[in-house]
Structure 1
Amino acid sequence: MLAPDTLCHAFDGTRLIASGELVTVAPAVKQAVDDGARGPVLVFDDRDSRLIELDLRGTPAEVLARLAPAPAVARGPGRPRLGVTAREVTLLPRHWDWLAGQPGGASAVLRRLVEHASRDEAPKQRARLAMEAVDRFMQAMTGNFVDHEEASRAFYRGERERFATLTAPWPADVRDHLRRLATTAWDAQTG
């Protein structure tokens, strides 16, 4: 379940309905649908351009209530839950031998290795995720637009001027959001 403060953009067809935190976008979407939005009405998560499905049944207050996170369940006495998930790891015997000789035990060493690798990979992963967000948004919103394929190619080649030229005739709200996503992706690749 998404948090109510998730940042998103909502479109009625190619018209931007609302953007901001989900808690403010959801009532705007509800209102647009109630007022006869022509659609399709799509809400995109700003982080990855995944579609957010909203349950718009009932009143605006009921829609918002469904966004609220479930209350935390009180735990009884005992050791606190640390968020650790036990899973099976398959390694060769020489790997287990090496782990056994490391200070802190196998779990501690594996956690350190994962932390180190995730820090090193973070910029690459951010760039990849930003590229995927552009692709996801384009597939959902611009697939039928003139020059969609060429704009997609220009995006992946990093041809910023050509991308801007090809997307210039597109509906302003879609074009502007797509350009922001593309700029974020390009900047993540070079940064």
Structure 2
Amino acid sequence: MNNDYIALYNNALIARGDLASIVKATKAIDKDIEPYVFEFESCKRIDLNWHGDEKAVLASLQEEQPTTTGKRGRPKLGVKSKEVTLLPRHWQWLAMQRGGASVTLRRLVDEAMKNPPIEQQIKLKQNQLYNLLSVMADEPGFENASRALYRNELSAFETAIQSWSKDIAELLIEKFNEIVHLQQGKHDDR
């Protein structure tokens, strides 16, 4: 619960902080509202069970544990067996690697995840911001903001969201600035 979360309701920011703070602030505003909650870094939406009072909602957070189903893979470790389609030459190369195909594929994926190219990092940040932005899909300027996001045009983005609530606009610009920072790093490397 140490991550930074935000709660949005009626196109306004109603709380920011850890999940317990979000629940407490939301229930203090109105016990019957169910805001959109996002983990701010990833802009991933978090579904909470808002039924009951503050204590009940917090208790439901503690009870939620990931469930594992199926027997393949190593479910206790979070390993899931899925199909991978490769050409015969790829399977031959993998078979010659120390540890076998699964170990080699995990190692290659881990290396790629540690050092993604800047273009991939920018695309990830754009998609994350779009997840958050999509809550405002009915607001005027949404389409222009979306286009500006994927064009990396901060000034056009700011213009598109200028009529939105100040707190939401500030959050969105804070996230957009992460993209600008990556874009500047891309140009500095040339």
Per the shorter chain, which TM-score range? Answer: 0.7 to 0.9
Whether the aligned pair in 2 keeps the contact of 1:9 and 1:45 (CA below 8 Å) is yes
Cα distance in 1 for residues equivalent to 2:118 and 2:112: 11
Aligned match for 2:161, one of 152, 160, 167: 167
**Which residue of 100, 104, 126 corresponds with 1:105?**
100
Q: 1:44-97, CA deviations, whole angstroms, 9 ceiling, x for partnerless residues?
A: 22133333222122221111111115589xxxxxxxx65544444443333333
What is the distance in 2 between the residues matched to 1:169 and 1:92?
53
Question: Which residues of structure 2 form unaligned runs of 5+?
Answer: 67-75, 186-190
Instruction: Identify which range, 46-55 or 174-183, moves more after superposition.
Output: 46-55
Q: After the TM superposition, which residues 121-140 of structure 1 pair with which residues of structure 2 at under 5 Å, given as runs?
A: 121=116, 123-140=118-135
Structure 1 match to 2:6: 9
- TM-score norm. by structure 1 comes to 0.74
Q: Report deviation, 1:18.
A: 0.8
CA contact (8 A) 1:27 1:63 kept: no
Larger Rg: 1
**SS in structure 2 opposite 1:51?**
strand
Residue 88 (structure 2) aligns with = 93
Q: For the Cα contact (< 8 Å) 2:16–2:22, is it kept in 1?
A: yes
Higher relative contact order (CA 8 A, sep 6+): 1
The residue type equivalent to 2:110 in the other structure is E
Say if 1:60 and 1:88 are closer, same or farther in 2 by CA, change over 3 A. Answer: same
Q: Is the 8 A contact 1:9 1:18 kept in 2?
A: yes
Q: Is the 8 A contact 2:39 2:46 kept in 1?
A: yes
1:104-155 alpha-carbon deviations (Å, 9 max, x no partner):
33333323322233334364443222211222222212x2333332233223
Number of matched pairs:
176
Q: What amino acid maps onto 1:29 in structure 2?
A: T
Q: What amino acid sits opposite 1:13 in the alignment? A: N
Partner residue, 2:150: 156
8 Å Cα contact 1:26-1:54 kept in structure 2: no
For residue 49 of structure 1, the aligned residue among 31, 40, 43 is 43
- Shift in alpha-carbon separation, 1:127–1:158, aligned structure 2, 3 A: closer
Partner residue of 2:172? 178
- Normalising by the residue count of structure 2, what TM-score does the alignment of the two structures yield? 0.74
Unaligned 5+ segments in structure 1 are 73-80
Percentage of identical aligned residues: 35
RMSD: 2.9
> 8 Å contact 1:18–1:28 — kept in the other structure?
yes
- Structure-2 separation of matches of 1:48 and 1:24: 19
SS of the counterpart of 1:113? helix
2:13 maps to a residue whose letter is L
Q: Is the 1:127–1:189 Cα contact (8 Å) retained in structure 2?
A: yes
- The letter for the 2-side match of 1:95 is H
